[in-house]
Structure 1
Amino acid sequence: MDRLPTRGFRERLHRMLAHVEEMRHRNGVRPFSHPMKVLLTILLLPLLACCRGPELLHGRVTAELPHDPKCYTQGLEFHDGRLFESSGGYGSSTIREVDPANGMVLRTRALARNVFAEGITLLHDELWILTWHENTAYVFNLDDFSFLRSYKYTGEGWGLANDGKQLVMSDGTHILKFIDPENFRIVRTIEVTDRGRRVDQLNELEFADGAIYANVYLKDKIARISPNDGRITAWIALDGLRKRLPQPHDAEVMNGIARNPANGRLLVTGKNWPRMFEIEPVREGP
């Protein structure tokens, strides 16, 4: 289990045990002993955990920053206090470093015109980037954006993150792939689900605090995913952010998640958005 049982979770467990006790009483069976109740509780916990739905959170905005409205954001990530971003499009794909204080583009490198840039991640002081249909991952030096090497893979490339050891890759389906960075071979995969239902079109990824955060294409919300079994443990609603964008704008889908290690908050934006938002996921309700 990812966290301690909630009050509602415990109440459901108590109701289930009470129902079992009532049925035994009606059938003239003696009540459970205390050790038996403890054993039943242990056996029922995994069942209830599987049935429990994700937390419903919303992103409380703590700061706004300018963002290049010409950037078709595909990946966003902090590294040692620096912010990096990728922008997609045939003939316009770039990797860039952005000032996290004011959103200003500090430096950029254009990619080949026949490459559609996708998600990025920073691992071992190197910048890794996927491509959409080119079946190639590129690795660049972090300090001067010089090319280092490339790897081939099958299928589409969408989002990319890392857990400090392995890369985590999305391809627009409900599958997340864990990749060995030494050879870009798939180590394992997980199916992402919400109460047993597959959730596809997973896009940009961020690994933070032991969980995977994922944009879902065409959705103004972020999924928090268990890297162990792919279960969505929370949804972070961000539908109010579009209303905060200055008019007029050509903002497209939400995409881009970066955890700021300085304060633990998430920086989010979208394709051609004129703003980035620092958010703190909080529980819905009063």
Structure 2
Amino acid sequence: MRLKVIAGFIAFFLLVSCNNKEKMLDSLADYNNERETRGYHFGDRLELPKEVSEYAESITISFNDKETTNLTIDPKFFTLGDNKVVFIIKTKNGETLSQDATINVFTKNKEKEIPYQIIADYPHNPDNFIEGFLVEGNTVYESDGLDNASQLIKYTLGATVPTIIKKQPANVFSEGCTIVGDKVYQLTYRNKIGFIYDKNTLEKLSEFPLPNIIGEGWGLTYDGENLVATDGSKNLYFLDVNDPSKVVKIVPVAGNTETYENLNELEYHKGFIYSNVWHKPIILKINPATGEVVGKFDFTKLTNENNEGNSEYVLNGIAFKGDNMLITGKNWKKIYEIVIK
């Protein structure tokens, strides 16, 4: 009889323990799902439900190769955007539980809608599937992609005939480009290499392997110190200009309510990075030190006027002529000069 009573107590204890475990994990899952949509800001504290806090001896958050028991959203640990984490809970009865979660961190300030005015337009070759676009003085450098049709070209703004065309091998799909001194740096889409050309002649000088962490080459610019690249994710990759295979730092990009994936063509101007978002008619103004999107241009009207009903004819060209912005897109017939108000 005594053994049956002991066995009963053990069974009861196990049942209670199991119920508590399920309550903790279910409650934590509900909390995480709700906060994933709403997000956090730096300085916020994770107010975990009482079903977790009452039965937890300790709570650890694991993120990549780091761990913390601090439940405050600390920029030393988290980044802007989606942070894939694991909650590790040690219960008061000695169990260890774990649960995956996404902690979205957004900026405290809402992105400002930036007003602008179109003051001029210039012809653009509608055959060009533009990937990289930059202007130096009155000279345009343009990297055009597509399989078996990639090229780097140079022409005078307003002209319809290029001064130099550099055709690229059939297996190369050209992507973003930028100028550093007397050289043009160019990415490729999936070839995992970049090229360096003489700015004046467009003759190839050398090539370099892309860092392994960059899955694909998309956009490229130069901030005066480092090359800055995108690969279609939320990240800006800062590369050593003397060794572009070396990543100096990675800065994720987010706004007040969303993480911006598909960052594409880039341009650096007066302390900010400007980026379009692939398949969206917008250009973001980004603080490169933090990844915070401080402003946004809406070019829906221009995109609709130029896409000819083709979903691939997207906004994809950003440059500056003085303080005026120049924009164009894949297979667009025009380049537009914009005054930022």
Q: TM over 0.5: same fold?
A: yes
Q: Which of 166, 170, 180 is matched with 2:240 structurally?
A: 180
Correspondence for 2:330: 271
Distance 1:51 1:146, change over 3 A: same
Contact 2:107-2:254 within 8 A present in 1 as well: no
Quick one: which amino acid aligns to residue 165 of structure 1? E
Q: Once the two structures are superposed, what CA deviation does each residue of 1:105-145 show, in whole Å capped at 9, x if it has no partner?
A: 22211011000000000002101100000000100011111
Distance 1:165 1:80, change over 3 A: farther
Q: Distance in 2 between matches of 1:199 and 1:180?
A: 24
For 2:184, what is the secondary structure of its paired residue?
Answer: strand
Q: Distance in 1 between matches of 2:309 and 2:243?
A: 45
Contact 2:147-2:173 within 8 A present in 1 as well: yes
Matched, 1:66 2:136: no
Aligned ranges for residues 48-197 of structure 1 at < 5 Å? 50-153=107-210, 154=212, 155-184=215-244, 185-195=246-256, 197=258
Aligned-residue offset at 1:59: 3.5
Aligned-residue offset at 1:82: 1.6
Structure 2: stretches of 5+ with no match in the other structure:
1-105
For 2:266, what is the secondary structure of its paired residue?
Answer: strand
Q: What TM-score results when the alignment is normalised by the length of structure 2? A: 0.65
For 2:243, what is the secondary structure of its paired residue?
Answer: coil
Q: Name which of structure 1's ranges 73-82 and 247-256 shifts more when overlaid on structure 2.
A: 247-256
Q: Once the two structures are superposed, what CA deviation does each residue of 1:53-72 show, in whole Å capped at 9, x if it has no partner?
A: 01112442111111000000
Say what the alpha-carbon RMSD is for the aligned residues: 2.0
Quick one: which amino acid aligns to residue 267 of structure 1? L
Contact 1:93-1:112 within 8 A present in 2 as well: yes
Q: Distance in 2 between matches of 1:272 and 1:101?
A: 16
Correspondence for 2:259: 198
Structure 1: stretches of 5+ with no match in the other structure:
1-48
Q: Distance in 1 between matches of 2:142 and 2:223?
A: 18
Pick the structure with greater CA Rg: 2
Quick one: which amino acid aligns to residue 225 of structure 2? K
For 1:68, what is the secondary structure of its paired residue?
Answer: coil
Q: Which of 266, 271, 279 is matched with 1:218 structurally?
A: 279
Distance 1:121 1:76, change over 3 A: same
Paired residues, number: 232
Quick one: which amino acid aligns to residue 273 of structure 1? W
Aligned-residue offset at 1:50: 4.4
Q: Once the two structures are superposed, what CA deviation does each residue of 1:181-229 show, in whole Å capped at 9, x if it has no partner?
A: 1111100110100126321100000000110000100011100000100
Q: What TM-score results when the alignment is normalised by the length of structure 1? A: 0.77
Q: Distance in 1 between matches of 2:161 and 2:337?
A: 16
Quick one: which amino acid aligns to residue 280 of structure 2? K
Identity of aligned residues (%): 28
